[in-house]
Amino acid sequence: MALDRFFPRRKPQVNRAEQDTPDLWAKCPKCKANIYLRELEQQLYVCPKCGFHNRVNPQKRADVLLDGPLEVWSGHIWPVDALEFHDTETYPDRLKRAQQKTGRPDAILTGRGELDGLPVALAIMDFEFSGGSMGSVVGEEIARAAERAAAEGIPFVLVAASGGARMQESALSLMQMAKTTIALEGLARRGLPYISILSDPTTGGVTASLATIADVIIAEPGALIGFAGPRVIQQTIRQNLPEGFQRAEFLLTHGMVDMVTDRREQRAELSKLLRLLQARIGPKVPAKSSEAGASEAGASQPAPQEGEHHHV
């Protein structure tokens, strides 16, 4: 005879006051320390106990780096399902869920702002949107931002956080590697600084193209940076990988990145680097009128209209 007939279980009572109270604590994924949420925000989402760098969304990243609000350029181009891709669910369903989660059309935020009094163009990838994967919209937005920075004669700063090319767009996604690289070359031709910040993770086609061709490459402590994942590499070469393989500190030792900088020091470091680079290159070279709105390879299209859809 079941005892629950005599001793029925009582459902736990939910205290509505507690339910409506916001969570005031966060647990560090690395050291498991409980951190007061306000203290974590003051530390720019870096664990004050062990220095672990938590991921932050693009808007918070812009707030950390800039003096004031970001003049947003992106957000008018929407992805389309040009290949009618379908795996466990349709690509439009995946996009809709990611758009609802992040509140943006795709995994990128671009715009203009001031960093320690210096005008800069800023592009920030959003890992919360499909792992920050680079599809045609992400590539187009970055290309347009780089071209606009070149036309306006201002430096360009990229914050990368991506799992690589977006498989649901196949070759269209891979084309963005070339598109963004060509657009960023316009900055070099005009002697304008380009600095990239590699956050956790930066992998795949993003690492193999725009993220690692900057004048200065900064990595956040502990960030995973590479092309293929360490497990895939280990299974391919059938050898044990060295400790810390593909982490920021390992790559600094082997010359793939120029510096590993704590997020709390990045703003000051960027200010110093931008002033140094601009002082060395001398006066800015104005953009030609024929080049102001389009890349030399013809990769970009005319300025978008509100609600425009894009797939190449």
User: What average pLDDT does the segment 99-128 reach?
Assistant: 97
pLDDT for 57-91, tens place per residue? Answer: 999 999 999 999 999 999 999 999 999 999 899 99
How far CA 243 is from CA of 51, 173, 249, 293, in Å, comes to 19, 32, 11, 46
Which tokens go with 21? 């109270």
Report pLDDT for 11. Answer: 60
* pLDDT at res. 34: 94
| Comparison of pLDDT for 281 and 218, the residue scoring more | 218
pLDDT digits (tens, 9 = 90+) for 187-231: 999 999 999 999 999 999 999 999 999 999 999 999 999 999 888
Among 15-29, 94-108, 178-192, 228-242, which is the least confidently predicted range?
Answer: 15-29
Between 2 and 128, residue with greater pLDDT: 128
For CA atoms 217, 274, 181, 204, give the dihedral sign. positive
Query: What's the confidence (pLDDT) of residue 229?
Result: 84
Binning pLDDT at 50, 70 and 90, where does residue 106 land? very high
Looking at domain 55-284, which of 3.40.390.10, 3.40.1110.10, 3.90.226.10, 3.30.420.40 is its CATH number?
A: 3.90.226.10
pLDDT > 80? residue 281: no
- pLDDT band for 309, please (50, 70, 90 cuts): low
The token duo for 2 is: 């079941």
pLDDT of residue 14: 53
The label of the residue with tokens 């601009």 reads 278
CA distances in angstroms from 302 to 104, 148, 153, 210, 219, listed in the order given: 21, 12, 20, 22, 33
Answer for the pair 223, 201: CB distance below 8 angstroms, yes or no: yes
Question: Distance (Å, rounded) from C-alpha 129 to C-alpha 105?
Answer: 9
- On the question of pLDDT at 310 being above 60, the answer is no
Residues of the chain with CATH 3.90.226.10: 55-284
Confidence of residue 117 (pLDDT cuts 50, 70, 90): very high
